[in-house]
């Protein structure tokens, strides 16, 4: 697989994240050394989790997740009406499964951003889109924090 840096067009190298996390390994990453842009990979593969990100983009992705994650995480805590699923059986706990809650959150976010759900993942966003995520989600996340 070839991964190209969007900042300088150099090929990225697959390396252990110990190289960028001061001696701590969190798995493999694709790294552009000249730009110090990197992205993690799906566990056990060399497939990038998103796009290479430089410091500015990494900072905005952190902010975007801080604004967006409380919204879908609230769904994990939300009880289904009557505690029953579509089958009529008990839902098995107080909330939705993580995959469902997160997917529903991204579906909502895609509508807010006016993009297809398939393209809606913070790992794929650029700085401007991350800024829009913060702008869209922050009021909801703030309300959820106050209610907690």
Domain ranges of the chain: 1-52, 55-147
Rounded CA-CA distance 71/143 in Å is 10
Rounded CA-CA distance 39/52 in Å is 5
Residue 147, pLDDT above cutoff 90: no
Are 20 and 38 spatial neighbours (Cβ–Cβ below 8 Å)?
yes
Structure confidence at residue 7 as a pLDDT band (50, 70, 90)? very high
pLDDT value at residue 132: 98
- Average pLDDT in the chain: 88
Lowest mean pLDDT among 28-37, 86-95, 104-113, 117-126: 86-95
pLDDT tens for residues 65-109? 999 999 998 887 775 444 444 444 444 555 678 888 899 999 999
pLDDT value at residue 119: 95
Rounded CA-CA distance 53/64 in Å is 14
What are the two backbone dihedrals, phi and then psi, of residue 11, each rounded to the nearest 5 degrees?
Answer: -70, 140
Cα angle 148, 99, 59; round to 5:
65
Rounded CA-CA distance 87/95 in Å is 16
pTM, entire model:
0.82
Residue 5: count of CB within 10 angstroms of its CB: 20
Instruction: Identify the sign of the CA torsion 130, 110, 112, 106.
Output: negative
Rounded CA-CA distance 67/70 in Å is 7
């Amino acid at each position: 697989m070839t991964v190209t840096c969007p900042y300088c067009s150099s090929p990225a190298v697959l390396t252990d994240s110990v190289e960028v996390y001061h001696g701590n390994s969190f798995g493999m990453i694709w790294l552009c050394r000249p730009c110090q842009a990197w992205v993690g990979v799906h566990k056990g593969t060399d497939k990038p989790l998103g796009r290479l990100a430089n410091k500015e983009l990494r900072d905005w992705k952190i902010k975007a997740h801080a604004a967006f994650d409380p919204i879908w995480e609230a769904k994990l805590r939300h009880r289904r009406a009557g505690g029953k699923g579509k089958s009529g059986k008990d839902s098995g706990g107080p909330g939705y499964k993580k995959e469902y809650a997160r997917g529903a959150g991204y579906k909502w976010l895609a509508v807010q951003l006016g993009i297809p759900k398939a393209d809606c993942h913070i790992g794929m966003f650029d700085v401007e889109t991350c800024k829009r995520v913060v702008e869209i989600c922050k009021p909801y996340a703030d309300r959820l924090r106050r209610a907690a």
